[in-house]
Amino acid sequence: MTRAVTLVPDPNESVCPPQLALTSWLRYVYDLPRTQCRIGAPGEPTLRALRDPSPPIPQILDRETYLLAQAGWITPPKAAAGR
């Protein structure tokens, strides 16, 4: 977060440059993956093709269990079923 804040001189400043219309800025941001990363461009992979076929299932803990485990007072459960 600190690194992100240093990149933006004023965190309350808008991200859209004042010389661009909002629609132009949104078009630019939308086209970035295609032009810079070549994702979805003709002959290149799509986001769906790049998706992990077997992503790990997140472990779901209630807040108190998580905080107690972070403090080292209890050992966290081995694995909980994902939603």
pLDDT band at 9 (very low <50, low <70, confident <90, very high): low
Q: How confident is the model at residue 5 (pLDDT cuts 50, 70, 90)?
A: low
DSSP characters over 25-67: HHHHHHHHHHHTS-TTSTTS--HHHHS-SSPPPPPP--HHHHH
8 & 41 share domain: yes
Residue 83 and residue 57: Cα distance in Å, rounded?
9
Type of residue numbered 48: R
Q: Tell me, what's the pLDDT at 11?
A: 60
Q: How confident is the model at residue 75 (pLDDT cuts 50, 70, 90)?
A: confident
Residue pointed to by tokens 């992990």: 52
Q: Are residues 36 and 65 both part of a single domain? A: no
User: Looking at the structure, do residues 11 and 43 belong to the same domain, yes or no?
Assistant: yes
Whether 46 and 61 share a structural domain = no
Give pLDDT tens digits for 46-74. Answer: 888 888 889 888 878 888 988 998 898 98
Compare 81 and 54 and report the one with higher pLDDT.
Answer: 54
Tell me if residue 22 falls in helix, strand or coil: helix
Full domain range(s) for residue 60: 54-83
